[in-house]
Copies of this chain bind each other. A is one copy, B any other.
Amino acid sequence: MTAEERPRVLVADDELGVRRALQRGLTAEGMDVAAAADGPSALRAALTGAFDIVLLDIMLPGMSGYRVLERLRAEAVRTPVLLVSAKDGEFDQADGLDLGADGYLVKPFSFRVLVAQVRATLRRAGAETARHRLRIGELEVERSRKQARWAGHELGLSPREFAVLDVLVGRAGAVVTKDELLRTVWGDEQAATRNAVEVYVGYVRRKLDAAGAGELLRTVRGHGYLITTPELDAALGSGG
């Protein structure tokens, strides 16, 4: 597990100002930030497992932060979650921690405390729990087992193929260029050419097709490749 990549943070808050501020601030701290404005979309985005940490406001429209957290844990998603609340009642805090939260922040919090919390939580979780299992729709990528499944059906990828899919899924919702794939999968020496990437994406595609995942891995002509879901589009697209 590469040590210091850019951590991916999901911010779930109903106030546009908060989302904007956190997005700007955390980006400046070297993190990739996605945002969700309501409970259901926060849950959908978090369920993909594509994030290293979730900042979850408790009072969200559609579905409370508590219930989002509860559902997440019920689905065996172990992404670290920091609960954020304007309340400071002890009951809230105890309930949140019992539900499997990894920390608690009370509004108004200082940005410095927030960053320290996020960093500490990321450090604690390390590479082990975070983004251990990724889910994009029916696609499941289990890193500890080097296994990829579509609708429960094992794809049987070779190591290279798995590495390619892993990178794409890890950056789900964003276009990944061929050069990026070359760098991360083939290494910085870049022994291989870009065509190798095309060939391997082709292999992965064939196996996805065979399992029934037709249009999942898309080509964005002139830019690279993209794996996404509507949920992620929403979170990553709306800048706040």
Set of chain B residues within 8 Å of A102, measured between Cβ atoms:
120, 124
Cβ contact within 8 Å between B100 and A120: yes
Cβ contact within 8 Å between B112 and A90: yes
Complex Cα spacing A88 to B60, Å: 27
Q: Beyond A144-B174, A173-B144, is A103–B100 a contact (Cβ under 8 Å)?
A: no
Complex Cα spacing A174 to B127, Å: 14
> Contact flags (1/0) for A88-115 with B, using CB distance below 8 Å?
0011011101101111000001101101
Q: A62 at interface (Cβ–Cβ under 8 A)?
A: no
Q: A78 at interface (Cβ–Cβ under 8 A)?
A: yes
Set of chain B residues within 8 Å of A144, measured between Cβ atoms:
173-175
Set of chain B residues within 8 Å of A240, measured between Cβ atoms:
76, 78
Complex Cα spacing A119 to B150, Å: 36
Please classify how large the interface on chain A is, using the bins under 10, 10 to 19, 20 to 34, 35 or more.
Answer: 35 or more
Cβ contact within 8 Å between A76 and B238: yes
Cβ contact within 8 Å between A93 and B116: yes
The stretch that binds B, out of A11-19, A32-40, A205-213, A217-225, is A217-225
Of B98, B120, B159, B220, the contact of A221 (CB 8 Å cutoff): B159
Q: A239 at interface (Cβ–Cβ under 8 A)?
A: yes
Cβ contact within 8 Å between A158 and B124: no
Q: A226 at interface (Cβ–Cβ under 8 A)?
A: yes
